[in-house]
């Protein structure tokens, strides 16, 4: 899959929800760190380079910010609505439907910076951590906890026309 996003120029312009915003706001952290969504989510991440459309069906499960509890002080497992959406979109992109591994992580960087208002240095640390291994990217294995999600998610990137 071709890399399309230019990190140095990428800016998130806005986040648009069609459904699921209230459910994500109300989502509370749990000890198991697995979050099945009882209803579908439909949202669009509008950037200066294009728009990512994300749709999940009821039952889609994500894990918030992946990784151990010991780093929750640095980046919370769920956090505020913008952090939750950043982790959710990153997980949805992880199924490799429309954005490359690199672009998936570049978009996470931009969402954390522009929506969650993280410092660029903090975004860079998180982007580095998720870029160390691509074992989580693409079609999950049958014994992966997220295997059932593969039919419950759709992502579609629409490139912004050149001026």
- Residue 163 — pLDDT band, cuts 50, 70, 90? low
Which residue, 61, 53, 54, 17, is CA-closest to 37?
A: 61
φ, ψ dihedrals at 82, nearest 5°: -75, -35
Residue 162, pLDDT above cutoff 90: no
Q: For position 133, what pLDDT does the model report?
A: 86
Q: For position 53, what pLDDT does the model report?
A: 98
Average pLDDT, the chain: 95
Above pLDDT 70, what percent of the chain? 99
pLDDT tens digits for 115-159?
999 999 999 999 999 999 888 899 898 999 999 999 999 999 999
- Residue 1 — pLDDT band, cuts 50, 70, 90? confident
Per-residue tokens: 2 = 């071709």
User: What pTM value is reported for the model?
Assistant: 0.95
Cα separations in angstroms, 32 against 7, 21, 62, 65, 152: 33, 22, 11, 13, 21
What is the C-alpha separation between 84 and 92, in angstroms, rounded? Answer: 12
pLDDT tens digits for 8-55?
999 999 999 999 999 999 999 999 999 999 999 999 999 999 999 999
pLDDT tens digits for 75-98?
999 999 999 999 999 999 999 899
What is the C-alpha separation between 76 and 79, in angstroms, rounded? Answer: 5
What is the C-alpha separation between 13 and 52, in angstroms, rounded? Answer: 12
């Amino acid at each position: 899959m071709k890399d399309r996003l230019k990190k140095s120029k990428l800016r998130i312009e806005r986040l648009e929800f069609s459904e699921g915003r209230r459910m994500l706001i109300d989502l509370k952290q749990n000890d198991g760190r697995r979050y099945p969504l009882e209803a579908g989510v439909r949202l669009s991440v509008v950037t200066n380079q294009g728009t990512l459309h994300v749709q999940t069906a009821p039952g889609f499960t994500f894990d918030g910010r992946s990784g151990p509890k010991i780093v929750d002080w640095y980046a919370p497992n769920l956090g505020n609505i913008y952090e939750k959406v950043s982790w959710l979109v990153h997980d949805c992109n992880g199924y490799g439907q429309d954005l490359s591994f690199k672009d998936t992580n570049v978009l996470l960087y931009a969402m954390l910076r522009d929506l969650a208002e993280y410092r660029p240095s903090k975004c860079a640390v998180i982007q580095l951590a998720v870029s160390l291994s691509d074992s989580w990217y693409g079609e999950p294995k049958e014994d992966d906890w997220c295997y059932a999600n593969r039919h419950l998610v759709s992502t579609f990137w629409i490139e912004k026309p050149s001026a």
